[in-house]
Every structure is written in C-alpha cells, then in structure tokens.
C-alpha cells in the first residue's frame, strides 16, 4: 500500500467527494490558484517542459530543505493538475518519485477519464523532467526530498 503525504491525502479527500466532472473541474481551478507563482524571470526556455501542448515551466528549488518544485502554466485547468501532481510527490525522494504511477494517481482522483492523451503525455513529461532535475541535483545525493 502506498503511503501518501498530508497534501496527497487532502487531494484524494477533496476529489473523491465530488460526484460529477463539473465539481472536479471547479476543484481543479481552486487547486490551481494555490500554486506558488513562478517569477517571470524563471519562465525561460531552459525551464520549459518539452512534451506539453501548453507551456509549462518547471524549476527545482534546491535551496530549500527539502528540495521542492515550482511550476507555472498559462492554462488554468492545467495549473490545477500540476498542483495535485505536486501534492502527490510531496515529501518523496527521487527514487519514490520515479516509482509513481501517474495514471493511477489521476484515476484515484477521478480525473483520468477527462485527461486527453496529449494532456496525459504532458503530465508524464513533467514527472520525467522532475526526475531528471532531481538526478542532476547535487544536494539530492545525500538527502531525501
């Protein structure tokens, strides 16, 4: 059985309490507003995630302990999806993040049926980029995220 952080448990509780897609969509928009703003100076081509139809910027803040990610997107629903992805990886180390089944996570939230193949591919690209950034982060070699 997978253990979830408090943030992931909250996401599960919030989304599983919704009966219809419209409720989940409103909830996604609310979750998206909780994403910390990524400064415009960090919204650069180097921080773009390739494989997303909509522009998504991803930065690993390795100065904080534990290390954490910052994300930005111009698409409101995508911001919500990114926020629940961040909730899922909260407190996990690089190896645990690599083991995440992102399709299963969104299915548990009741969101998988509304994810187009291109959006699913984009979310997988975000997760893969997270894994790559963690792998190349020297601070991650000795500590958990």
Q: Which tens digit of pLDDT belongs to each residue from 1-39?
A: 457 889 999 999 999 999 999 999 999 999 999 998 899
Q: Bridge partners of 71? A: 58
Q: Is there a domain that residue 136 lies in?
A: yes
Q: Both tokens of residue 86?
A: 């961040």
- The domain tally of the chain equals 1
Q: Is residue 64's pLDDT more than 50?
A: yes
Give the C-alpha separation, 119 to 106, whole Å.
12
Q: Which residue has the tokens 């390739």?
A: 50
At 145 the pLDDT is: 36
Q: Is there a domain that residue 51 lies in?
A: yes
Q: Where are the extended beta strands (E) located within the chain?
A: 56-61, 68-73
Residue range(s) defining the domain that contains residue 87: 6-140
pTM above 0.75, yes or no: yes
Can 18 be counted among the known catalytic residues? no
**Contact between 117 and 66 (Cβ < 8 Å):** no
CB atoms within 10 A of CB 59: 18
Q: Among the options 38, 52, 92, 123, which is catalytic? A: 52
């Amino acid at each position: 059985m997978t253990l979830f952080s408090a943030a992931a448990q909250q996401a599960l509780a919030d989304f599983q309490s919704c009966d219809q897609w419209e409720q989940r969509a409103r909830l996604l928009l609310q979750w998206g507003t909780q994403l910390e703003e990524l400064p415009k100076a960090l919204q650069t081509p180097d921080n773009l995630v390739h494989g997303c139809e909509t522009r998504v910027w991803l930065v690993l803040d390795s100065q904080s302990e534990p290390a954490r990610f910052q994300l930005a997107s111009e698409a409101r629903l995508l911001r919500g999806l990114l926020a629940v992805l961040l909730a899922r990886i909260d407190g996990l180390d690089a190896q645990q993040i690599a083991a995440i089944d992102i399709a299963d996570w969104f299915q548990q939230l009741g969101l998988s049926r509304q994810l187009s193949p291109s959006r699913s591919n984009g979310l997988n690209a975000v997760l893969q980029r997270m894994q790559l950034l963690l792998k190349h982060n020297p601070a991650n070699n000795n500590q958990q995220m």
